[in-house]
Structure 1
Amino acid sequence: MTDRRVDIAIAGGGLAGGLIALALRRARPELSVALIERGDAMGGNHRWSWFASDLPDGGEGLLAPFRKTSWQGYDVRFPTHERTLAAHYRSLSSEDFDAALRRELAQDTLLPGREIANLDARGITLADGSRVDARAVIDCRGFLPHDSLRGGWQVFMGRHLRTDAPHGLERPVIMDAAVDQLSSGGAGGGAGGGAGGGAYRFVYVLPLGVDELFVEDTYYDDSPVLDRRALSSRIDAYCRENGWQGEILGGETGILPVITGGSIAGYQQAHGTPGVAKAGAAGLMVHPLTSYTLPHAVETALLIADNADLPGDQLAALLDAQARRVWKRTGFYRLLGQMLFGAARPAHRYRVFERFYRLPEPLIERFYAARSTFADRLRILSGRPPVPVTRAIGALLSSRDPLTAPQQQKDPSP
């Protein structure tokens, strides 16, 4: 690749970077954009899901080019409570994400299979020594753990399955916490070792077709260690219990931060590059408790498209300010995360969500959209608490461990 110059260079072709490139193409097609991704496909190997009510104004239009799976209604299951809710739910695979970007963007925008060696306010240097100069540079290469942040982790493995017979599931099961919980030395867990020993566990199921399922085993844990063998075994058992068997089409794993506190200023100082804008999880634009990223990625992409003429340093300042606004408006969810990890014993953490899912549905939708009202917050915190008051107070006064780098056990199991 020879050197080139563009208006805006984007490092990282995942969800945040791809949506920014698409928003710029739709709003400002005359601008030249380079979207640089180390992998061969945009979006990596992921599945993103969201509620229709999560999106900001203009979000549906931005996502219109993508092929999505949609449902009206979803289920939740707990040991003493089950419920069907009416909200519209959406899901997007990385394969469909990549296909739409290749179709919608200018031919010379996408630069897959390119390793980034370095970036600065004036452009991006690739590993082969070539250079993409730009008026503005946006770094979207993902969350970087740092001891300026505190919290826990959401660890998961998902499996895409084609069943031998129709599975019979009509709508998603967003949270099946009626499964065995993971308490150290207790049933269903296997203590320690990254298997989720001492964690809140649930299973997430999407019916992608009459004979197609996405089944994900997820747990909220203190440790950022992913044990592939343990997760795969639990998915096997869950599918057997439901009578599902068939061909494995693919899968994914992940370790996401559940941020309960810390300093965004410290994070920005540690990971910032002068004059370079940060977006997506790299800029902490996430829901701190659910780890949902798509609504924030849409919001950021639209913001950048509206300010596409800014010089690079001003665009960087704009996104730093946006990250601080997101941090401020999501403080309530960090508090809830602190209580979840610090006040509830691992085997009983499901009670926090079980009680939450007894609340009015509009409140639940606003919660996922990170737009809880003051009355919502009072309602969530009032009434009979699912954790002892003394432990809740202790959790708020304590400090979680730093969010240091996750680890994945090198296990050949699928």
Structure 2
Amino acid sequence: MYSAEFSTGVSADAAADVDIDFRSLPKVSLHDHLDGGLRPATIIELAADVGHELPSTDPVALDQWFRESADSGSLVRYLETFEHTVAVMQTKEALFRVAKEFVEDLADDGVVYGEVRWAPEQHLSRGLTLDEAVEAVQAGLDAGVEAVAATGRPIQVGQLITAMRHADRGQEIAELALRHRDKGAVGFDIAGAEDGFPPSRFKDAFTYLAEHQFPVTIHAGEAAGVDSIVDALVSGRALRLGHGVRIAEDIQVDFAPAGDAGGEQQSPEAPGSGEGLAMVTLGRVAAWVRDRGIPLECSPSSNLQTGATAPFGEGIENHPFDLLYQTGFKVTINVDNRLMSGVTLSDEYELLVEVFDYDLDDLLEITLNAAEAAFLPLEEREALVEYITEGFQGRA
């Protein structure tokens, strides 16, 4: 068990006290889905090419439809919006274009290193093979990096090859990832409906990846709780946890409002409910994740939309991000799906500053968490850390 005291005060006026150009900060994006980051205008054009019917053919209206549909509090409903984006990503040309624009949009948001996750098995309805799909996306990513470089901005991008949890292609997709490990693929993931489809379904595939020293991140602790996280660590040998916010269910909070020496025991939502001090005690699983520095790929807005933070209360102020950050977890900031959540990484940085009164030093520490968690060789991670640190210092 681990116990510590931390401040629970939040400031609604923090943004007025901090002058930060969020977009100019060098950032790392670890959890960003390719099929969740399309431009509405691109979706409309690609849909016309393949005869796919959309809710709207007006870019503004379509953008609004995605946001409203995703903002339901249900992961299942949230995932339904992908039917339209995946439908228009079934050809080499479409995958190339979406990947290229994805990189350009990352760079416009100040991202200098990004890992793009997507499931090739979902993009075969028009005759592509798994390898052809991966090659098309990689060509688009490379073209995007080249286009960004031509403007004088650095960016590096890698693919996270993803298997769908409800399917039975784990071994096949793991082998696909390894075939492309020196050609753009940097890691493996499983995604889709978390509850009811545990990582143990892919245990043999995860063993195969471990035998070949290929890194794994797993969606866990979003739609399911601590047991899902344990399975990701044990069956999946996960080096990072996709979202992972429900690890906070294994944290006990004793909340004492300011001026109340006695205090009273509260559920985890207490840290966002007012100002004061709290004593937190980590359970065995939470302590394991914290003590071993297993990174959490948190996506604040998405976590709220999908209901991942519902056990801790309503509203972004009850997101356990600050509890996890203050108690030493390796939290990182991500967007999950820019189209569905209607956010950029810069927006998420600004949101956390507004809600939790973070300053530039806090943002740097969280960004370095992400840089150190990147699926890169040590020397490249060290160079990335140095580049980001210098970039933040230049804006202090």
For normalisation by structure 2, the TM-score amounts to 0.24
Structure with bigger helix share is 2
Structure with bigger strand share is 1
For normalisation by structure 1, the TM-score amounts to 0.23
